[in-house]
Amino acid sequence: MRKQFASISVTLLMLSVLTVPAGAASSPSLTDLGALMPIDIVVDTQANEIRKVYDLPPNTDPSTLPMAAFERDKMLYECTDILREVIIGNETQVLTQSETVESTKKDLETLLELLPQEKEVTTEDGFAGTLTLDLDSIKSEVSGYGTSSKAVTATRSYPNLSDADTNHIPKTIEDGGRTLTLQDVQWQTDNTYNADDYEIGDRYTAVCTYGGTKSTSYVKGYTTTADYTGEVFRTGVSVIRYTVIFNGVPIEPVEPEQPSALGVVLDWLMIAFPVLAALGAGIGGTYYFMRRKGRIGYEEVENSGGSYHDDSHVDDDTGSGSGVSD
């Protein structure tokens, strides 16, 4: 009997699990954080009307606007119309452009001749305006260097030479840190006499010219950059303004529906049928098991030639039994 009750209990437990409603398993969806936000909401309580105003870029699809119905203050508001308005205005932005010029000097007077005080600009985006030179932004850098050479000469005199021979004259000299080479010699003769009018002999003076080159480095030019700054404007479509109109109607209170007698019976049947089916299946299985057990015992006794008392027949009288003898 314990096995019978255990089988019935397990069957009932499985049926009760299968019949549990699963409506509470779903979770509410999260609100879209990227939803469009209106720039203004106008509420007209007398007309039961709410207007939500949105400013969107020209390339925005208006179907993305929130148009779902909603409840507010016991009123149900539904979208009834959408208004579209093109807002044309001026866009302004600050623009800075750089200008580069080449010059041989870097003084301000020379640079201002190359850099105008103002200039008109038009950008690829359609902005136009006047930019003004920023004097503090002017910067000049050397663009390159060059080298120049010029002749350098020096004169030296060498007096009291015994003869006009260049071997007595130095071929190079140092002057101002540069080495100069002998280029020309001019001889001068001095006649010397003693007190008795006897000629002692001629003496020579060499006037020498030395020459060379002097190299100097100089700046060939300057590269100057300057900034022009100012406001530029563009006229055109700035935004598209959409006004979504909602009209409200009162929400009628819903009275709870009274269940009919037939509905109550059907509800009870829906609940009781699985339980009754489980009970029937358990009792039928138990009855079959007991009958099967009794038949097996009867056959064993008959084969052995003994007697058998069958207690598994639930429909026999209590205390009665059947004996089988050879």
CA-CA distance, 86 to 90, in Å (whole number)?
Answer: 13
Q: Is the pLDDT of residue 43 over 70?
A: yes
Residue 241 DSSP SS3: strand
Cβ atoms within 10 Å of 7's Cβ, excluding its own = 16
- Please, which residues have CB within 8 angstroms of residue 31's CB and are 6 or more apart in sequence? none
Q: What confidence tens digit (pLDDT) does each residue in 178-231 have? A: 899 999 999 998 766 555 665 566 788 999 999 999 888 889 999 999 999 999
Model pTM? 0.40
Residue 317 pLDDT: 44
Structure tokens at 303: 């084969």
| 173 compared with 234, residue with greater pLDDT | 173
Mean pLDDT computed over 51-76: 92
Mean pLDDT computed over 298-318: 53
For the chain, which residues make up each domain, given as ranges? 1-19+255-303, 91-235
Residue 122 pLDDT: 93
| Helical pair 2-18 and 261-304, crossing angle rounded to 10 deg | 150
- Please, which residues have CB within 8 angstroms of residue 135's CB and are 6 or more apart in sequence? none
φ, ψ of residue 255 to 5 degrees: the values are -80, 140
CA-CA distance, 176 to 215, in Å (whole number)?
Answer: 13
Q: Is the pLDDT of residue 141 over 90?
A: yes
CA-CA distance, 156 to 170, in Å (whole number)?
Answer: 10
Mean pLDDT computed over 36-45: 92
CB 205 within 8 A of CB 43: no
| 40 compared with 320, residue with greater pLDDT | 40
